[in-house]
Chain A
Amino acid sequence: MAVAAAVDEVPLVTSSPVTRVRDRAARDAVEVRLEGLSRHYGSVVALDRLDLTLEPGQLIALLGPSGCGKTTTLRLLAGLEDADAGRVIVGGRDITRMPANKRDMGMVFQAYSLFPHMTVRQNVAFGLRLRRVGAAERDQRAIEMLELVGLAEHATRYPHQLSGGQQQRVALARALAIEPQVLLLDEPLSALDAKVRAQLRDEIRRIQLEVGITTLFVTHDQEEALAIADRVGVMRDGHLEQLAPPTEVYSRPATSFVAEFVGLTNRLAGEVRDGSVIVRGCTLPLVERDTPNGQVVALVRPEAVTMASDGAPESGPLVGTVIAVTFLGATSRVTVDLGDARILAQFSTADAAALTAGSRVALTIRPDPVLVSASSDPAVSVAGEEA
């Protein structure tokens, strides 16, 4: 919904400056490799021998909870911090010991980082000035970059005269103006309100595709990561749990942590028997087929929970009372009390229309491959964060 609405609101950009910028800025996109990167803060391990490769022109989003090491990864790549061990290789060159100002990377920060004493145009031209680009060309390129982000008419304003979203767009223009090899985005949308965030997120993606620059995007917002990235890296305790396209991360999480962190997940008690898990009478295939037999907690997505086709029987392991129906637009989320547990289901709004709080409903679980959690607490029925 938010994405669809935002598309119309993104300022349209005339093609000529974009083409010029793309022609100039899209040098051969480079590959970025992080090899065995480690970073400690005292006794705390922020990064633990991280290996990560960004293909040329690809946008990778690093996602994870606070303290998982995603920002540290980006700062090590930017040269703003030094690695304890490991290598940073950009375009085949080892730049591990290279200072930040020599790395040729554009960066957009979480906090507003425009220089307050400079106008928007001066901000965008700052990097070019350091590169001794002539005044006329500098101004022209600054204006082109501002056209790219739809803010050319604000060139003479000062940062405090812009909204938060506009400031971040100028910061993006400034980062791209120097035609960097790599674009680094450190939670650039987290200080913005929801509507502007969705708009700017799409705009960043559009510009990244236009320019074709290798990009690392750090965020704690899974919706942002899934919407914008070619591949999503889910991090935990300084290492990557999974690096895969967004659809794969969501539908085939590699670990129970990923399953629980990305999207909503029902945690249902089950029993593994010969490569399948039996959950409340439903036999579901396992992602990890070699899981030993025994009691487990199965991780089931709400959209895998459907209404039973045979109506609403009086009793059964998946029969319960509707507690709440949350309208989400095309779909609705239904919370059902099964007596000994609660389960979340996601139905089309048309199907959910007949349901109200207190009504009885019979459910079933679609036989998608599921992960099982090592957790020994099957009493908890719903986990995960709001997507």
Chain B
Amino acid sequence: MAALTSVGETPIAAPAGRPRGMQAGRRRRLNTFRYVVFTLFGAFFLIPLLAMLRFSLEGAKLGTWSLSAWRQIASYQGSGIPPLLSSIEITLELAVITCAVMLVLLVPTMIWVQLRVRWLTRTIEVLCLLPLTIPAIVLVVGLGEIYNRIQRFSLSALMLFWIYVILALPYAYRALAAGLGGIDVKTLSEAARSLGASWFTVIVRVIAPNMRQGILNAVLLTFSLVLGEFTIAYLLLYTNLQVELYSISRNTPNAGVLFSTSFAALLFAFALLMILSYAGRGRRRSRG
């Protein structure tokens, strides 16, 4: 979203000394190109979403409208699978836990590496980006043994957070690194230390608040990843929202609830994006 907005706002620099007619013609061509590209990409993204929305509002008879699929989100119970609502709950809980663990692990580690062991930066970066290069099936095979042991203690799908934290690392790392790169960590931490701050205070009250936008972005990416994750949960025999939706689609002839739930999840992620970007912008505005 932000990228699209900023593209629209980028001023077009006109080369000095060009005839005005050429400049105007070039601007017209650029504008036309821009509108065509936006229209094509907008259609590419919006048409499937609108189709999904239309299907979720399909009545009992073809071509009629109904809200029944949306009402079913709270009450739907397929045969042999948990209630839909419990899958939604567990997926949201999983997203919250994954975000929390990711932040607790990654934020202090990255700040500490930046402050005290900068030579480790590249190593940490490579480690964090590694999950991007490993296919999900390989991860599952590798972690299968560990999950066998975990399942002796708990069968809850919440246990998926271990692997989801690993999956979220590359995205969260990049977002946090961007946030961290925007501030003079060394000077701020030394200033805070000279004023009497412990390392904990430096991280929590001085550095972390200044990488707020990076943290919000990392949370958004992690949340979206967990909401949409299917492969690993399915292969490890856990039921999260996506696995539940897949089961519904296989067992139910009228899958209106499938579309309403998927669309609701998308709306939720979109709302989250809006809230987070508004929170960041609100802060800047209040300071501006």
Contacts and interface: CB of A to CB of B under 8 A. Distances in A.
Interface of A: 78-80, 99-107, 109, 111-117, 126-127, 130-131, 158, 160-161, 171, 174-175, 178, 184
A115 B202 CA distance: 11
A368 to B, nearest CB: 43
Interface in B156-194: 183-184, 187-188, 190-194
B190 A174 contact: no
A329 B191 CA distance: 40
Contact of A80 (B190, B206, B212, B287): B190
A126 B192 CA distance: 8
A105 B196 CA distance: 9
Contact of A117 (B192, B193, B210): B210
B187 A100 contact: no
A114 B206 CA distance: 10
A130 B209 contact: no
A115 B188 contact: yes
A175 B184 CA distance: 18
B201 interface: yes
B194 A130 contact: no
Contacts of B190: 78, 80, 100, 107, 109, 113
Interface of B: 183-184, 187-188, 190-198, 201, 206, 209-210, 212, 287
Contacts of B187: 109, 111-113
Contact of B188 (A104, A113, A127, A131): A113
Given A101-B197, A130-B197, A131-B196, A109 B210 contact: no
A155 to B, nearest CB: 15
B287 to A, nearest CB: 5
Given A101-B198, A104-B196, 10 more contacts: A101-B194, A109-B187, A112-B184, A114-B191, A115-B188, A115-B191, A115-B192, A117-B210, A130-B196, A130-B201
B212 A117 contact: yes
Contacts of B188: 113, 115
B195 A174 contact: yes
A131 B201 CA distance: 12
Contacts of B198: 101
Contacts of B184: 111-113
Closest 7 CB pairs of A and B: A127-B195, A113-B191, A107-B194, A100-B193, A117-B209, A130-B196, A158-B287
A111 to B, nearest CB: 5
A110 to B, nearest CB: 8
15 contacts: A78-B190, A101-B193, A101-B194, A101-B196, A102-B196, A109-B191, A111-B187, A115-B191, A115-B192, A115-B210, A126-B195, A126-B197, A130-B196, A131-B196, A161-B287
A114 B190 CA distance: 11
Contact of A130 (B183, B191, B195): B195
| A80, A100, A117, A174, most chain B CB atoms within 10 A | A117
B257 to A, nearest CB: 45
B195 A160 contact: no
A115 B212 CA distance: 13
B195 A178 contact: yes
B194 A78 contact: yes
Contacts of A160: 287
A178 B196 CA distance: 9
Nearest to A158: B287
A51 B138 CA distance: 62
